[in-house]
Amino acid sequence: MEYHKGPRNTEYQLIKAKKALATREYFDADSRMKQLETDIKREMLAMRLLKEHRPIYPGEEEEVRPS
């Protein structure tokens, strides 16, 4: 982050960042869709458990596992 003087006695911040390089998995549509599907299933399971006001017990994880 850098501070620069502007016209009329003002000051502004200049924030620089580098974007991370994309991996091969990022460009693989099948891999991204599979990850998205897993994320959606995990979120739906969490929302259902919150709605039902009950904890998850061992063996009830269905097919969703944390990554």
Could you write out the DSSP letters of every residue in 38-55?
HHHHHHHHHHHHHHHT--
Report pTM.
0.47
Q: For 29-39, what is the mean pLDDT?
A: 94
Q: Which single residue is written with the structure tokens 């299933």?
A: 41
Q: What percent of the chain has pLDDT over 70?
A: 82
Amino acid making up residue 45: L
Is residue 4 domain-resident?
no
What pLDDT score does 65 carry? 54
Residue bearing the bigger pLDDT, 59 or 65: 59
The owner of tokens 């919150």 is 50
Is 23 part of a structural domain of the chain? yes
Is residue 3, in this structure, part of any structural domain at all? no
| Full residue range of the structural domain in which residue 34 is found | 19-67
Calculate mean pLDDT across residues 58-63. Answer: 62
Local confidence band at 29 (pLDDT 50, 70, 90 cut-offs):
very high
Q: What are phi and psi for residue 34, nearest 5 degrees?
A: -65, -45
Within a domain: residue 14? no
DSSP 8-class letter at 66: -
Indicate the number of domains in the chain: 1
